[in-house]
């Protein structure tokens, strides 16, 4: 089956490099900054996950920067010059300005080349949840989907992608502005592990709190059992870890006990996501129920407010 379009993804999908190195797939990279300078997120081509997270454990507090307008213009121009339509699957707009920048770049390219078919899709996901969507998008892309078909597919499929993760250190969320300092301090004393997912708008949503990592991993498996669709997308499940391979192996054993037919894809949480979640984060992503039909408490409140206006 011939490739009918360019598929453009970003480095925050946290997929293994051998998965994204497929024909017709292009990658735009976020950057991160630490004590040694500015670095491109090359998906651990130039350093290992252990090296990155060990530096954080040693006191390094890296920051991130989004994909620039120039980088989007460059990859869009390259796609245009190859003579094929293109689709960008972007990191959640609720967590980064990258999607907005991509839209600006797309408008500029279309003004210069009105005949160029280019679709920019906000995945409203991040890390391995975004990776799950892209994993299947690559498969559909390789099967010969057109750009319009792929954009339409992704815009609907994203609501069936579930991602849940447990953060080890509440201080990392505090530094990222997600929780107050007082909550981070209290949580550290209680050994509380926040369990997070994604709202329908792509923002982070607190879905629970566990006392300790073992109970947290058990909760991740319970979310999987409660929300997945057994016959979805060949049983592919992504797991992710921020340099805690023993824990993710334990999580995978628990998942296999829940369903021995799973196809597990083990992912390292990349440095850009890692800057915000810190070492020892563990995650699971899977295909499941339509998330629009299982709206969180926060989303229900938001919808009620909108209706009352």
CATH code (residue 105): 3.40.50.10440
The domain of 12 spans 6-31+65-159
Does residue 57 sit within a domain? no
Instruction: Verify that 111 and 165 share a domain, yes or no.
Output: no
Does residue 127 sit within a domain? yes
Tokens of 113: 């080349």
Instruction: Verify that 10 and 145 share a domain, yes or no.
Output: yes
Residue 85 neighbours by CB distance under 10 Å: 18
Domain boundary among 159, 183, 207: 159
Instruction: Verify that 115 and 189 share a domain, yes or no.
Output: no
CB under 8 Å, gap of 24 or more: what pairs does 75-78 form? 75/8, 75/26, 75/28, 76/8, 76/105, 76/106, 76/109, 76/116, 76/118, 77/109, 78/26
Instruction: Verify that 133 and 199 share a domain, yes or no.
Output: no
Domain boundary among 159, 193, 212: 159
pTM (two decimals): 0.91
Pairing type for strands 25-28 and 6-10 reads: parallel
So what's the pLDDT on residue 297?
A: 57
Instruction: Verify that 273 and 179 share a domain, yes or no.
Output: yes
Q: How many domains does the chain have?
A: 2
Tell me which DSSP letter residue 269 carries. P
CB 59 within 8 A of CB 92: no
Does residue 136 sit within a domain? yes
Instruction: Verify that 205 and 262 share a domain, yes or no.
Output: yes
Does residue 119 sit within a domain? yes
So what's the pLDDT on residue 190?
A: 64
CB 173 within 8 A of CB 167: yes
Query: What 3-state DSSP class applies to 154?
Result: helix
Instruction: Verify that 259 and 187 share a domain, yes or no.
Output: yes
Instruction: Verify that 165 and 275 share a domain, yes or no.
Output: yes
So what's the pLDDT on residue 185?
A: 64
Does residue 59 sit within a domain? no
Does residue 55 sit within a domain? no
Instruction: Find the DSSP H helices in 8-48.
Output: 17-20
Instruction: Verify that 188 and 153 share a domain, yes or no.
Output: no
Pairing type for strands 63-65 and 31-34 reads: antiparallel
Instruction: Verify that 155 and 12 share a domain, yes or no.
Output: yes
Under-50 pLDDT residues of the chain: none
Domain boundary among 159, 181, 212: 159
Instruction: Verify that 194 and 145 share a domain, yes or no.
Output: no
For residue 222, the domain's CATH number is: 3.30.1180.10
Tell me which DSSP letter residue 125 carries. -
Instruction: Verify that 12 and 155 share a domain, yes or no.
Output: yes
Does residue 112 sit within a domain? yes
Does residue 128 sit within a domain? yes
- pLDDT tens sequence across 146-158: 999 999 999 999 9
């Amino acid at each position: 089956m011939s490739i009918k379009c360019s598929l453009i993804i970003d480095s925050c999908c946290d997929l293994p490099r051998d998965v994204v190195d497929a024909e017709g797939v292009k990658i735009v990279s976020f950057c991160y900054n630490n004590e040694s300078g500015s670095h491109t997120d090359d998906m651990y081509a130039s350093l290992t996950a252990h090296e990155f997270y060990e530096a954080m454990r040693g006191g390094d507090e890296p920051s991130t920067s989004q994909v620039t307008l120039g980088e989007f213009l460059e990859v869009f121009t390259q796609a245009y010059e190859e003579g094929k339509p293109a689709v960008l699957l972007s990191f959640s707009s609720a967590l980064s300005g990258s999607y907005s920048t991509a839209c600006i770049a797309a408008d500029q390219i279309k003004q210069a080349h009105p005949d160029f078919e280019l679709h920019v899709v906000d995945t409203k996901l991040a890390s391995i949840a975004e990776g799950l969507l892209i994993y299947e998008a690559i498969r559909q892309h390789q099967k010969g989907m057109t750009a319009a078909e792929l954009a339409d597919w992704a815009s609907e499929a994203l609501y069936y992608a579930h991602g849940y993760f447990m953060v080890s250190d509440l201080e990392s969320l505090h530094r990222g502005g997600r929780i107050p300092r007082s909550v981070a301090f209290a949580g550290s004393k209680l050994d509380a592990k926040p369990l997070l997912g994604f709202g329908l708008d792509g923002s982070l949503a607190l879905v629970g709190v566990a006392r300790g990592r073992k109970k947290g991993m058990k909760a991740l498996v319970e979310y999987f059992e409660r929300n997945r669709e057994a016959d979805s997308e060949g049983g592919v499940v992504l797991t992710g870890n921020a340099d805690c391979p023993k824990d993710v192996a334990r999580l995978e054993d628990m998942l296999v006990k829940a369903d021995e037919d799973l196809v597990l894809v083990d992912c390292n949480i990349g440095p850009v996501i890692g800057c915000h979640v810190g070492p020892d984060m563990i995650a699971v992503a899977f295909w499941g129920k339509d998330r629009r039909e299982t709206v969180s408490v926060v989303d229900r409140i938001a919808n009620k407010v909108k209706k009352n206006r």
